[in-house]
Amino acid sequence: MESLFCCPVCGEALGRAPGRYACPNGHSFDTAREGYVHLLPANRKHAKNPGDDGDMAAARNRFLSRGYYAPLRDRLEGLALARFPAGGAALDAGCGEGYYTAGVWEALDGAGRAPRLAGVDLSKPSVRLAARRVPRGELAVASVYHLPLADGSVDLLLDCFSPLALEEYRRVLRPGGAFLYVVPGAEHLWELKQVLYDTPYYNKEEDIPYEGFSYESVETVKYPMDVAGEDLADLFRMTPYYWRTPRAGAARLAALEGLAVTADFRIHVFRREG
């Protein structure tokens, strides 16, 4: 069976067979029980276990599964539907545990677009969860800076809070293809930062033109959330703030039973220039 993925060793197309992926040059990669494949060569690993750890992935999975970011997912689904050709290919670069990947897949498949979909992430615990969410997609442990996909093989590319690997995105996205880039808005989780830090800061908002891409629009998704109990702890655990918050700030948050928090996202919509 044909795969969207290419061999990370030689660059040849990979074929899918029960339990493994293989290329014509004899390089073979076993498929994990959950259905994902590991396509991150050892010489491209910068840590023993790169990416988000199991606790962070599990926290994000629980939080997102409760629908707190459903308005963002809904908007992404609509943007994807308006830009995806029948029988096309989509890539979620930095797919995490697959919440948005699954939403885009379900929207496109439900509309009869017969999508081919791949997702990659450095974090094995995250990709394991993503493979369960999107069993009909192709999920791989891989780096967005060395995407295991062929040139011009993707019609739609999603980057939701992941590193911006522009050179690779230009390479794999076909001319005319859509690129949806999600970043935090100025007030995203502002109230949470007010609890954690003595001098909280607003996120910087920029509309930057990138070589090889043309702007279509910048979509704003902003709304209030009431987050309580374990959900609040999961929200904190899944953010980068968890690693750089002073002990006093973390203690202040732990003492709260709940918090009204602003969700504020910006979706930069680009087209790949021909």
Instruction: Tell me the pLDDT tens digit for each residue of 132-164.
Output: 999 999 999 999 999 999 999 999 999 999 999
Please report which helix (H) or strand (E) contains residue 242, including its range: helix 241-244
Q: In the predicted model, what is the mean pLDDT of the chain?
A: 94
pLDDT of residue 244: 86
Q: How far apart are CA 50 and CA 118, in angstroms?
A: 20
Q: How far apart are CA 174 and CA 142, in angstroms?
A: 20
Asked if pLDDT for residue 24 goes beyond 80, the answer is yes
Q: How far apart are CA 9 and CA 5, in angstroms?
A: 12
Task: Read off the pLDDT band of 44 (50, 70, 90).
Answer: low
Spell out where 82-212 has E strands.
Answer: 89-93, 116-121, 138-141, 154-160, 173-184
Token readout for 137 is 């997609």
Task: Read off the pLDDT band of 113 (50, 70, 90).
Answer: very high
Residue 270: which of 201, 212, 192, 199 has the closest Cα?
212
Q: What is the CATH number of the domain that holds 175?
A: 3.40.50.150
Q: How far apart are CA 10 and CA 94, in angstroms?
A: 22
| pTM of structure | 0.95
pLDDT of residue 179: 98
Asked if pLDDT for residue 46 goes beyond 80, the answer is no
Domain count, the chain: 1
Residue 120: which of 69, 163, 73, 87 has the closest Cα?
163
Mean pLDDT of 168-172: 98
Mean pLDDT of 186-210: 94
Token readout for 257 is 């039973």
